[in-house]
Amino acid sequence: MDLHLPTETLSLPHGAEMPLLGFGTWQIKGKDAVRSTAAALEAGYRHLDTATVYGNESEVGRALAESGVARDDVFLTTKCPPNRIGRELDTLRESLDALQTDHVDLWLIHWPGDDNVAVWRAFAEAQEAGLAREIGVSNFDADLLDEVTAAVGAKPAVNQIEWSPLKYDARVAEAHRSREVVLEGYSALRGGTLTDPDIAAIAERLGRTPAQVIIRWHLQHQFVAIPKSVNEDRIRSNADVGDFELSDEDMATLDSLS
């Protein structure tokens, strides 16, 4: 089938264009990681998300290298665990070797640690060295965003947090918007979202899947979505969201589910 992929991107502070739709790889290992990443690239995804602790950077890198898609056409994210204090740049270089690239487009602190400021300083050094085009964080709250920004003078471009219509909080969204920090959501298709009756009703009325409705909700809010799957049909279906829009009423219904 012909896919209607969304083309929206967000401009990050140092010039990178981040596609609002990405492919997540959490819990996908070994041959499945190679195969599903390759399927995502073939379907048209141009944003891949991995992490040191996922244990699949080599597989994601292999799929990208073998895909025939130009490296510069793909927005590539990885993450560093916060317990690598003093070893952050070594960790990033290991990631780059595994991913078969000389830089990532986005490098995130995977979760808050004991000394976020020290780790964030190393992230700023990595950016200065050209190893990461953009730097950001994951699982931070607004206070932590402000803490690292004030201490280092570099603002996180992105904060990746657990997010879905069932997790929506307008105050959290506004805290990111007011700080000009991109909100990127993970686990959007977990936690009961696919079986929620209100989401299912909207999907049925529109002739769409619940997953497509959830992803479309992210895009219309300008939240980044990184759905994952090892099923090639679902990988393609999750990307086929560029040819419809949710009404204001539908968006309000979805916003109210939390």
Mind telling me the catalytic residues?
54
Residue 4 tokens, joined: 């209607």
Percent helix, strand and coil across the chain, each to the nearest 5: 45, 15, 40
73 phi, psi to nearest 5 deg: -90, 0
101 phi, psi to nearest 5 deg: -145, 160
Report in angstroms the alpha-carbon separations of 211 from 20, 80, 101, 198: 15, 29, 32, 13
Q: What is the largest CA-CA distance in the chain?
A: 53
Q: What is the H or E stretch that residue 204 is in?
A: helix 197-206
